[in-house]
């Protein structure tokens, strides 16, 4: 089975639902350490699109690269721990999971639909499972896998939601009596973007004209907040003439004076939008992937930069991994906190009609090969 990742590095494994519960438990044990994810979409100079995102947590997610083949039977879990919605995936998908579970927290499918799961604390409000049809019910962590394995475009996802084909229900982790607060970003090969948020028990769908998403508050709030930054520009400010005196700006970047530099979701939203709107588009392939990586570097959180007042021995939040998806070429890239080399997985090099999910750890010994440098 040819691929950009040696097949000998992969081990075949079946879906293990217990690991999904383990991830949920870990997330809920430290709810304040999952609120710094940043995602965006940039256009390429030849009509393509590249998606990028960061994943922040304060404990090791032990994420693995994973390929889900076409026609694979998948299922979600209900509040009683029993199987809820089941479906057979139409499309193959590649991405990253957490703690060995068979659910993608970030990924891309063979048609160029890509997206991620981001934390949404204080605002996520899921459907009541007692009032929802179990055959249409998904646990919060299964929505992205359902979308990537079933649809080719964001319009198809939107239509399915509007037709009430799915509900994201409140599945409580028994020990903590809480469900993980999540929302979802999706992008397709045409450059269209969508945000899906569980609000008041229903899935609220937003067209995303800016392609950027972070965390709380709600997406429409972030769009309203843009009005506070209408004068920001990548173009340097003109000197100020004042009573015969000329006041020059200090160095380059004067048009960006006032852009927020802190790590809060609203500030990261503004910063990500400023970068994605101002960068010079590059050609599809390695050049645009490198460009997305440069944007991602602005949101990297080293251990210790974000902490609680009484942090104590609690784990520090940090950027566990960052991903880039080339939606035109079926290439999915990842770099980790301990290995900053961007490594690629070619989805199209796998047997997309295989019978089993395939996965591999992200450690440096058996990681995917490095992204080639663009030709000069």
The catalytic residue positions are: 37
The tokens for 292 are 């997305």
Which is nearest to 197 in space by CA: 251, 269, 140? 140
Residues 161 and 45: their CA atoms lie apart, in Å, by 32
Opening angle at CA 237, ends 234 and 242, nearest 5:
170
User: Is there a contact between 80 and 29 (Cβ–Cβ < 8 Å)?
Assistant: no
In a 3-state reduction of DSSP, which class is residue 7? helix
Neighbouring-strand partners of residue 127: 169
What six digits make up the tokens of 359?
């996965």
The answer to whether the beta carbons of residues 285 and 326 sit under 8 Å apart is yes
Closest CA to 206 of 123, 51, 151, 198: 198
Question: Degrees (nearest 5) of the Cα angle 10, 11, 15?
Answer: 120
**Strands 343-346, 331-336: parallel, antiparallel or unpaired by DSSP?**
antiparallel
């Amino acid at each position: 089975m040819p691929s950009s990742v040696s097949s000998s590095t992969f081990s075949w494994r079946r879906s293990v639902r217990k690991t999904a519960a383990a991830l949920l438990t870990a997330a809920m044990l430290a709810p304040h350490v999952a609120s710094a994810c940043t995602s965006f979409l940039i256009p390429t100079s030849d009509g393509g699109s590249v998606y990028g995102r960061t994943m922040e947590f304060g404990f090791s997610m032990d994420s693995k690269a994973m390929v889900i083949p076409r026609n694979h039977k998948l299922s979600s879990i209900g509040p009683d721990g029993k199987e809820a919605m089941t479906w057979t995936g139409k499309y193959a998908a590649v991405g990253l999971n957490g703690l060995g579970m068979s659910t993608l927290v970030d990924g891309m499918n063979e048609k160029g639909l890509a997206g991620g799961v981001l934390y949404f604390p204080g605002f996520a409000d899921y459907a009541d499972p007692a009032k929802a049809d179990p055959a249409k019910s998904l646990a919060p962590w299964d929505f992205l896998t359902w979308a990537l394995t079933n649809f080719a475009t964001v319009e198809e996802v939107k239509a399915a939601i509007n037709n009430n084909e799915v509900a994201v229900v409140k599945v409580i982790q028994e020990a903590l009596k809480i469900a993980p607060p999540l929302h979802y970003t999706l992008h397709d090969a045409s450059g269209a973007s969508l945000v899906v948020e569980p609000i008041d028990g229903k899935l609220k769908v937003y067209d995303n004209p800016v392609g950027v998403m972070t965390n709380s508050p709600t997406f429409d709030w972030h769009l309203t907040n843009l009005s506070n930054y209408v004068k920001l520009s990548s173009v340097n400010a003109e000197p100020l003439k004042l009573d015969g005196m000329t006041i020059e700006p200090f160095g380059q970047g004067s048009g960006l004076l006032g852009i927020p530099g802190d790590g809060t979701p609203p500030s990261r939203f503004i910063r990500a939008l400023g970068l994605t709107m101002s960068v010079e588009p590059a050609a599809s392939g390695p050049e645009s992937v490198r460009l997305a990586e440069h944007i991602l570097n602005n949101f990297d959180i080293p251990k210790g930069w974000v902490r609680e007042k009484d942090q104590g021995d609690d784990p520090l939040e940090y950027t566990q991994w960052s991903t880039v998806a080339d939606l035109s070429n079926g290439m999915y890239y990842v770099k980790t906190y301990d290995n900053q080399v961007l490594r690629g997985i070619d989805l199209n090099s796998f047997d997309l009609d295989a019978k089993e999910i395939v996965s591999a750890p992200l450690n440096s010994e058996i990681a995917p090969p490095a992204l080639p440098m663009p030709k000069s």
